[in-house]
Amino acid sequence: MLQIVLEQPGKFTAMDAAEPVRQPGDALVRVHRIGVCGTDLHAFAGRQPFFSYPRVLGHELGVEVIEPGDDSHGLKPGDRCSVEPYVNCGKCIACRRGKPNCCANIKVLGVHADGGMRPIFALPARKLHRSATLNYDQLALVETLGIGAHAVERGQPQAGEFALVIGAGPIGLSVIQFALAAGVQLAVMDTSESRLAFCRERLGVKHTVNPRAGEVKAQLTTIGAGDMPTLVFDATGNAQSMTTAFELPTNGGRLVFVGLIQGDLTFNDPSFHRRELTVMGSRNSRPETFRSIISMIEAGKIDTAPWITHRFELKDVPTRFPEVAQDRTLLKAMINASP
């Protein structure tokens, strides 16, 4: 069986692997689509802090059930599913308090444990979320959307408040989707004019900010009729941006970090205390978020079609992935793993 392994930063290898063996509670699935996300790109570049090599990447997955297993959770052969790749222990305090997304013993497929860059693999059946109508592209994008949905849940936006999303890459786009659904007055900031144009033209974002076009605070106060944002999401995974983000929420505001870096952040404490900021991290998403997003896509409330800008085959990952990773037009690459 073909398996693509990231042996070390910058080096993928195609190799032959044994057929997977199901453990109790596992389902056997056939992988049809694999989305490439920022985590994969950072792992390839050697900048993913929760990572070890060698590793089979792939956690944004659209799969088909082959064998549901003994504890099937209602699954049957042929079901199309999205994979919730966060394998939690169910016993730690985070799990007991309904936060399996930040389980103390979490194993994320494609990060801490081997993921889906292979035609067939086994995973806990409880981590499969089926849909009778969505295609494999849509199912593979549910996990990315879940990251944004959970970040917005963390920020608790109120309709009409002034919110800013920093970073219009794939994770930023997922935050934008759910911030708009919450009814905020939204601005999006990025240094890429093409990404800002995509936000305006394809997602309906009214206000965009490019730091290269002028002083950021001046642009923001113009949008906010004299006020800075009350809610800021940083989805860049860039240390300079994340440090600067501390200065952007107004007094009493909230700052949600969706992206992460491999290192420390610092901030000015008097400025932080004077404004009584609330700063939050956002990690992964929860099972109920997966089910909600699937329902929203099924109902036509989210259109995933504009997201996919690149496609290639699983066998071509060693040659195509490095090329795509350097392409500045990349929003979302989709890998076809079907035979």
DSSP letters along 143-164, please? HHHHHHHHHHHHH---TT-EEE
CATH code 3.30.70.260 for 2-130+304-336? no
Both tokens of residue 291? 């089910």
Q: Which residue has the tokens 């860059």?
A: 117
Residue % of the chain over a pLDDT of 70 = 100
The reply to whether domains 2-130+304-336 and 148-281 share a CATH topology is no
SS3 182: coil
Q: Is the dihedral of CA 324, 81, 284, 248 positive or negative?
A: positive
Over residues 25-45, the mean pLDDT reads: 93
> Which tens digits make up the pLDDT trace of 186-241?
999 999 999 999 999 999 999 999 999 999 999 999 999 999 999 999 999 999 99
Over residues 140-162, the mean pLDDT reads: 97
With cut-offs at 50, 70 and 90, classify the pLDDT of residue 166: very high
Query: Which residues fall within 8 angstroms of residue 329, CB to CB, at 6 or more apart?
Result: 194, 309
The dihedrals phi and psi of 287, each to the nearest 5 degrees, come to -55, -40
Whether 115 and 144 have beta carbons less than 8 Å apart is answered as no
Report the DSSP pairing between strands 162-166 and 231-234.
Answer: parallel
- Output the CA–CA distances (angstroms, integers) from residue 23 to 69, 121, 258, 306, in the order listed: 9, 11, 33, 38
Answer yes or no: is pLDDT of 156 > 90: yes
With cut-offs at 50, 70 and 90, classify the pLDDT of residue 305: confident
Helical packing angle, 170-181 and 136-155, nearest 10°: 70
Instruction: Report the half-sphere exposure of 134 (CA within 13 A, side-chain side).
Output: 32
How far apart CA 184 and CA 8 sit, in angstroms, is 42
Whether 80 and 64 have beta carbons less than 8 Å apart is answered as yes
How far apart CA 27 and CA 243 sit, in angstroms, is 43
With cut-offs at 50, 70 and 90, classify the pLDDT of residue 306: confident
Answer yes or no: is pLDDT of 49 > 90: no
Measured in whole angstroms, how far is the alpha carbon of residue 221 from the centre of its chain?
29
Cis peptide before 124 (omega within 30 of 0): no
Over residues 108-116, the mean pLDDT reads: 95
* All structural domains of the chain with their residue ranges: 2-130+304-336, 148-281
SS3 126: helix
Whether 136 and 130 have beta carbons less than 8 Å apart is answered as no
Domain 148-281: give its CATH code.
3.40.50.720
Whether 268 and 160 have beta carbons less than 8 Å apart is answered as no
